[in-house]
């Protein structure tokens, strides 16, 4: 099965917790705090593996949770950092954040890596909190939670040339003739239901990769037929070979077919029309094809070369392949996403400041505090130690939560909930 789009959940590992401990050595009178920091959590890293061709593996494993860092130890021993979690993906994979729609990474080359979910830093041990006022603190942080997100993986096949056209115009036959690929060929529509790749070698020893893409029909960009599932695979091609059935055996006008397919490409992504296009007039061995070709050329207004061929008899195929190879050499790669050179250009993006906390009221009258920043602080607080709880209270006061609760009408003794924990408001 060819799988080219899948939704996956990834979570970086949490940092290890800091340690609360003190030196207790016989001849060290002022031992002091000796709690070590926790180790860094593992990051989820995607790496391109050349041998993979589809996203099939992600159908069976859709959750990737990286291990956490090791907790801090006594004697100021730092916890061990967790090794990154490496996930293999096929070349041509685009990683998109499901919530924001932002492209996180575009992975095309073997061995290329990208951090998808960053691991959390380790919590600080009590050595870090020693001050002249409090030389023996019983405070330590829990590890920072690892980044978690839902992502969309899209596979866009890596091919130099993409064959497009209506169903049954001879795309699969052409691919089978010019390469060692064995696509399914039959006399009915939508025989090809997955993209087929073949390596083509010309007589002057040049080679390129050609993709036979499932037939497009009118409305494909809106989800009609099979073509909408595979239009994304055309985005990486340098040259588009537009195959047209010049025999018109099915009663369609070849020029109308040409206009409809180009309109579908334009509706899906206008940048596809920037690619050089070669028109292949196929089935020239059939009766009436010569007349239809003359009529087609008379209507054609675009400056695209037209190659009359017969994929069955291989008539005209040699010249077509040489021209395609020339076009590939003359055409640079088209980047899917805008890339800026960090050394020469700085991109400033306006992003809305994240609200540190939100206060709401539950049906039972409980005040509820929520927000990514305050929840992260709470997760990093060791609630089993009184000094850590006092420190968290000071952090809440510094963020303005106490004043915000008073403004919402909170009084002494009211219940306040943060995540799954409840406490009384003290005015």
Residue 284 known to bind ligand = yes
42 appears as a binding residue in the annotation: no
Over its C-alpha atoms, the chain yields an Rg (Å, rounded) of: 31
Q: What angle do CA 257, 167, 57 make, to 5 degrees?
A: 130
Whats the size of the chain, residue-wise? Answer: 427
The 3-class secondary structure across the chain, one letter per residue, is CCCCEEEEEEECCCCCCCCCCECCCCCCCCCCECCCCCCCCCCEEEEECCCCCCCHHHHCCCEEECCCCCCCECCCECCCCCCCEEEEECCCEEEEECCCCCEEEEECCCCCEEEEECCCCCCCCHHHHCCCCCCCCCCCECCCCCCEEEEEEEECCCCCEEEECCCCCCHHHHHHHHCCCCCCCCCCCCCCCCCEEEEEECCCCCEEEEEECCCCCCCHHHCCCCHHHHHHHHHHCCEEEEEEECCCCCCCCHHHHHHHHHHHHHHHCHHHHHCCEEEEEECCCCCCHHHHHHHHHHHCCCCCCEEECECCCCECHHHHHHHHHHHHHHCCCCCCCCCCCCCCCCCCCCCCCCCCCEEEECCCCCEEEECHHHHHHHHCECCCCHHHHHHHHHHHHHHCHHHHHHHCCCCCCCEEEECCEEEECCC
User: Is 172 assigned to a binding site?
Assistant: yes
Distance, CA of 265 to CA of 278 (rounded, Å): 14
Q: CB 202: neighbour CB atoms within 10 A?
A: 17
Q: Is 261 annotated as a binding residue?
A: no
State yes or no: 166 annotated in a binding site.
Answer: yes
Does 92 appear as a known binding residue? no
Q: Tell me: is residue 97 an annotated ligand-binding position.
A: no
* Residue 194, annotated as binding a ligand: yes
190 marked as binding residue: yes
Taking each helix axis from N to C terminus, what angle separates 386-399 and 372-379, rounded to the nearest 10 degrees? 160
CA-based nearest residue to 43, from 105, 98, 92: 105
Residue 199 marked as a ligand binder = no
* 169 annotated to a ligand binding site: yes
Determine whether the annotation assigns residue 289 to a binding site: no
167 is in an annotated binding site: yes
Q: Is 93 annotated as a binding residue?
A: no
Q: Would you say 165 is a known binding-site residue?
A: yes
21 is in an annotated binding site: no
The reply, when asked if residue 146 is annotated as ligand binding, is: no
| Residue 312 known to bind ligand | yes
Residue 392 among known ligand-binding residues? no
191 among annotated binding-site residues? yes
Detail the residues annotated as belonging to a binding site.
165-172, 190-194, 212-215, 282-285, 310-312
Detail the residues annotated as belonging to a binding site for GTP.
165-172, 190-194, 212-215, 282-285, 310-312
Detail the residues annotated as belonging to a binding site for Mg(2+).
172, 192
């Amino acid at each position: 099965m060819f799988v080219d789009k899948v939704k996956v959940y990834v979570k970086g590992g949490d940092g290890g917790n800091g340690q609360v401990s003190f030196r207790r050595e016989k001849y060290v009178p002022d031992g002091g705090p000796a709690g070590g920091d926790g180790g860094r959590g593992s990051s989820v890293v995607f790496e391109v593996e050349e041998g993979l061709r589809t996203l099939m593996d992600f159908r069976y494993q859709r959750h990737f949770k990286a291990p956490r860092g090791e907790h801090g130890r006594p004697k100021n021993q730092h916890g061990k950092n967790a090794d990154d979690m490496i996930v293999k993906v096929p070349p041509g994979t685009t990683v998109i954040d499901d919530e924001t729609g932002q492209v996180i990474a575009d992975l095309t080359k073997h061995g290329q890596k990208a951090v998808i979910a960053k691991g959390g830093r380790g919590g600080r041990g009590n050595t870090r909190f020693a001050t002249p006022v409090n030389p023996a603190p019983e405070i330590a942080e829990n590890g920072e939670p690892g980044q978690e997100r839902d992502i969309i993986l899209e596979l866009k096949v890596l091919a130099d040339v993409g064959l497009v056209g209506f169903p049954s115009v001879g795309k699969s036959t052409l691919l089978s003739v010019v390469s060692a690929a064995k696509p399914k060929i039959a006399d009915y529509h939508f025989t090809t239901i997955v993209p087929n790749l073949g390596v083509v070698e010309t007589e002057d020893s040049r080679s390129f990769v050609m993709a036979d893409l499932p037939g497009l029909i009118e409305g494909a960009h809106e989800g009609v037929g099979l073509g909408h599932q595979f239009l994304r695979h055309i985005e990486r091609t340098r040259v588009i070979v537009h195959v047209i059935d010049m025999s018109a055996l099915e009663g369609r006008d070849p020029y109308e077919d040409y206009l409809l397919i180009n309109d579908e490409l334009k509706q899906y992504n206008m940048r596809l029309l920037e690619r050089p296009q070669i028109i292949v007039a196929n089935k020239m061995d059939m009766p009436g094809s010569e007349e239809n070709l003359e009529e087609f050329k008379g209507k054609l207004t675009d400056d695209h070369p037209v190659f009359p061929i017969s994929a069955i008899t291989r008539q005209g195929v040699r010249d077509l392949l040489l021209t395609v190879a020339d076009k590939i050499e003359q055409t640079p790669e088209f980047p899917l996403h805008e890339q800026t050179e960090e050394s020469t250009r700085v991109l400033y993006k306006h992003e809305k400041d994240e609200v540190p906390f939100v206060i709401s009221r539950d049906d039972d009258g409980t005040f509820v505090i929520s927000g990514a920043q305050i929840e992260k602080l709470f997760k990093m607080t060791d609630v089993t130690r009184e000094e850590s709880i006092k420190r968290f209270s000071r952090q809440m006061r510094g963020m303005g939560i106490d004043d915000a609760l008073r403004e919402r009408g909170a009084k002494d003794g009211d219940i306040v909930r943060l995540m799954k924990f409840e406490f009384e408001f003290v005015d």
